[in-house]
Amino acid sequence: MRTPVNPLRPAARAAAVPPSATAALDAHAKALAAAGAPVINLTSGEPAFATVEPAARAAEQAIAEDFTRYTPAAGIPALRTAIAARLNRYGTECEAAEVVVTAGAKQALHYAFTALLEPGDEVLVPAPYWVSYPHLITLAGGKPVPVQPETGNGLKVTPEQLRAAVTSRTRVLLLNSPANPSGVVYSRIELAALAEVAADHDLAIISDEICDHWVFGDARFASVASLGPEIASRTVTIGGVSKTFAMTGWRIGWLAAPTELTTAVAALQSHTASAPSSISQRAALGALSADLGAELERRRAELDARRLTTIKALDDTPGLQVAGTPEGAFFLLADVTGLYGKTYGDRSITSAADFAELLLAEANVAVVPGTDFAAPNHVRISYTVPPELLREALDRLADFVSALN
C-alpha cells in the first residue's frame, strides 16, 4: 500500500511563496488597533485619499446600465484607448491594441513574467525592491537576480553594475521608478543609461510605473518606453489606477507592450480571469476621462508636505538616517544601524526587525523592516497617513528613540 500523504500538500511552486510580509504586518497592526491599542500604521501601500469622485459615479452608472457581463479579455476598447492616451502624455507612441487591462498592476506583472520567462531565465532586479517581485518571478519559473546599489550611490544601481550581473540566462531587466520601498526616482538620463544595457544584451525591460503621478520637488517622472522606438520595442510598461486615483480596491491595472506580447497576455487572461471586473473598468474609464488635474495636483502637494515633514523629523532624530533621496511614491527608507546596540528595558536592538517590533510594542507605531525589500538595515515608512496622525507618529518615534539607552 502507498504511504499516505497529505493530498492537499502545496506543490513546490506554491510552497515556495510566503505570504506578503507587508500584508502580514499591516494585518498585525490592524489587529492591535482593533483590540484597542492606539496604533498608528505607517506600513500602508496606498494613499490615504478617497477614490476620485468621477470613478465612483462611473461605477454607479455602469451598475444602473447593468454593465455587468464579461468584457473582451483585453479590456473594454474605450478604456484601452484612454490608457494609451494617458501613457502617450509621457511621450510614448502607444496604441489601444498595445494595452491589456488587468486586475491591478500586480496581475499585469504576473502576466508579463509568465508570458516572457522560460524556466531558469534570469531577471535583473535592482534593490531595494518591492517585496512581490522575487515571488512573481519565481512563480513564473524565472530566477530573480538582485542587484544591490553601491554604498554612497543614493540607493540607485548603475549601468556597470547591471552589465556585471548579466549572464547567458538573463532575459529581463526590471525597472521601478518611482521606487517602492525607497521613493527614489531615476532621472530620464539615468534610465536611458540603464535601458542601454538591456539593448546591448538584447533583454526585455519590464518597467513598473505604478507611481508615475507621485513625484515631488525637482524630480521628474520619465517613462522608459518614451526613450525611443528601439527601447519601446523591448519594453513592457506596467501601470494602473490604484495609486494615482486612490483606487486600490477597484483592482484595475494595465500592461502596455508591442502587440506580439499583448496578444499573448490577453490569451493568458482569457483562460484565467476572463477579464477584469466590468464595473471597475468603467470606474477606471471615469477616472481617466475626467479633468482631475487640479484635484490630483492638490493631493500631490499634500503628500509632498507629509514627505517633507517625515524627512525633517528623521533628520532631527539622532541614530536614524533617511536613505537615498526619496522624491517619489509615498515611502522612504530609514537606516537604523545607528541604533544597533541600544537597549529598551532588557531588549537590545540588533536588527531592523528588532527596532520595528519594539517601536510597535512600546510606541504603537507600525513600520516595515526592510529585510524582504533587500534593505536589511532599514525600515520602510509610508507617510501617506493624514497630517495629524503622521505628526503624532513621528513624535512617538522621536520619543521612543530618545528613551533608548
Ligand X SMILES: Cc1ncc(COP(=O)(O)O)c(C=O)c1O
**Nearest residue to ligand X on Cβ basis:** 104
Does 105 bind ligand X (CB under 6 A)? Our answer is yes
DSSP 118: P
- Number of residues engaging ligand X in binding (CB under 6 A): 13
Q: How far is the CB of 240 from ligand X (least distance, A)?
A: 4
> Per the structure block, which three cell numbers stand in for 405?
539607552
Q: Show contacts with ligand X in window 183-212 (CB under 6 A).
A: 208, 210
> Per the structure block, which three cell numbers stand in for 316?
532631527
The window from 75-83, 98-106, 111-119, 286-294 that contacts ligand X (CB under 6 A) reads 98-106
> Per the structure block, which three cell numbers stand in for 282?
468603467
Q: How far is the CB of 323 from ligand X (least distance, A)?
A: 17
Residue among 246 and 314 whose Cβ is closer to ligand X: 246
Residue among 111 and 355 whose Cβ is closer to ligand X: 111
x/- track of binding to ligand X for residues 39-58 (CB under 6 A): ------x-------------
Please measure the distance between the N-terminal and C-terminal CA atoms of the chain and give it in whole angstroms: 63
Nearest Cα to Cα of residue 257 among 268, 248, 249, 244:
268
What is the rounded distance in angstroms from the CA atom of residue 343 to the CA atom of residue 340? 9
Nearest Cα to Cα of residue 386 among 56, 50, 53, 51:
50
The window from 25-33, 195-203, 240-248, 386-394 that contacts ligand X (CB under 6 A) reads 240-248
Does 173 bind ligand X (CB under 6 A)? Our answer is no
The window from 100-108, 134-142, 193-201, 384-392 that contacts ligand X (CB under 6 A) reads 100-108
Nearest Cα to Cα of residue 376 among 345, 333, 342:
333
CB-neighbour burial class of residue 97 (10 A; exposed 0-12, middle 13-18, buried 19+): middle
Q: Show contacts with ligand X in window 107-166 (CB under 6 A).
A: 130
- Cα dihedral 391→394→398→401 (10° resolution): 160
Q: What is the CA radius of gyration of the chain?
A: 22
Q: How far is the CB of 384 from ligand X (least distance, A)?
A: 12
Q: Of 240, 286, 324, 370, which lies in the binding site for ligand X, with binding defined by CB under 6 A?
A: 240
Does 176 bind ligand X (CB under 6 A)? Our answer is yes
Q: Of 81, 88, 114, 248, which lies in the binding site for ligand X, with binding defined by CB under 6 A?
A: 248
Does 319 bind ligand X (CB under 6 A)? Our answer is no
> Per the structure block, which three cell numbers stand in for 159?
549601468
Q: 14: which residues sit within 8 A by CB, 6+ positions away?
A: none
Q: Of 180, 182, 244, 281, which lies in the binding site for ligand X, with binding defined by CB under 6 A?
A: 180
Q: Of 253, 276, 324, 326, which lies in the binding site for ligand X, with binding defined by CB under 6 A?
A: 253
* H-assigned helices in 290-405: 293-315, 352-363, 387-402
Q: Of 177, 207, 237, 242, which lies in the binding site for ligand X, with binding defined by CB under 6 A?
A: 242
Does 276 bind ligand X (CB under 6 A)? Our answer is no
Does 269 bind ligand X (CB under 6 A)? Our answer is no
Residue among 41 and 176 whose Cβ is closer to ligand X: 176
Does 106 bind ligand X (CB under 6 A)? Our answer is yes
- Cα dihedral 58→59→63→68 (10° resolution): 110
The window from 103-111, 146-154, 162-170, 390-398 that contacts ligand X (CB under 6 A) reads 103-111
Q: How far is the CB of 60 from ligand X (least distance, A)?
A: 22
Q: Is residue 22 within a helix (H) or strand (E), and if so which, with residue range?
A: helix 21-34
Q: Could you write out the DSSP letters of every residue in 330-357?
A: TEEEEE-GGGTT-EETTEE--SHHHHHH
Binding site for ligand X (CB under 6 A): 45, 104-106, 130, 176, 180, 208, 210, 240, 242, 248, 253
